[in-house]
Amino acid sequence: MARRPVSNELITKTNVTPLIDVALVLVIILLVTAPMMSAADLPVDLPSAHTREAEDERNVSITLGAGGEIAVDERRVERSTLHAALVERLTRPGQSGSLVVVRADRGTPFQQVRDAMDEARRAGAKRIAIATRQSMEGR
């Protein structure tokens, strides 16, 4: 058996492979969990559409449940406090150009959707969209 000669040289290079592995795992976790953080847990059956606006982390989400429940982002609110909740959310620093996305159940009367859009406009929203489920027919 041949022995390797013992070297007195110091190891001066840093092994960055474990650091890169950890960073990539954290990025994947962030990408998977980020879309789940912006919407409330109200069950909503979205209507279908042929196009859809890309979701952005700066979006403000108004969710209208089939039973009349309302949520701004992940926080449930009453109809009487919807305006105040939207004003508070839209006046945060860096939120001036936020897109307000109205997510309504398919069975929600259009008048409630329209009222939510009016409240968003009165609260200072410049851009408003209605969330839909993307339809693959007709392509």
In angstroms, the CA 75 to CA 62 distance is 10
How many structural domains compose the chain? 1
- The pLDDT tens digits of the residues spanning 64-78 come to 988 888 898 888 999
Task: Encode pLDDT of 23-54 as tens digits.
Answer: 999 999 988 887 767 666 677 777 766 554 54
Phi, psi of 87 (to 5 degrees): -60, -45
Q: What is the pLDDT of residue 137?
A: 57
Residues 6 or more apart in contact with residue 120 via CB below 8 angstroms: 60, 62, 86, 100, 102, 128
- Parent domain of 64: 38-134
> Whole-structure pTM over 0.85, yes or no?
no
CATH number of the domain at 85, please.
3.30.420.270
Joined tokens for residue 8 = 């007195």
User: What integer is the mean pLDDT of 100-111?
Assistant: 88
What is the structure's pLDDT at 39?
63
Q: Of the ranges 8-22, 31-45, 110-124, which one carries the lowest mean pLDDT score?
A: 31-45
Confidence category of residue 139, pLDDT binned at 50, 70, 90? very low
Query: How far is Cα 23 from Cα 3, in angstroms, rounded to an integer?
Result: 38
Looking at residue 40, its pLDDT comes to: 67
Residue 14 lies in a domain: no
What's the confidence (pLDDT) of residue 24? 95
Mean pLDDT over the full length of the chain: 80
Segments in 44-135 forming alpha helices (H):
82-90, 110-122
The answer to the question of residue 5 being in a domain is no
Please check whether residue 100 lies inside any domain of the structure: yes
- C-alpha pair distances (Å), 65 with each of 2, 35, 106: 76, 19, 9
Exposure class string for 95-112: b at 16+ Cβ within 10 A, else e: eeebbbbbbbbeebeeeb
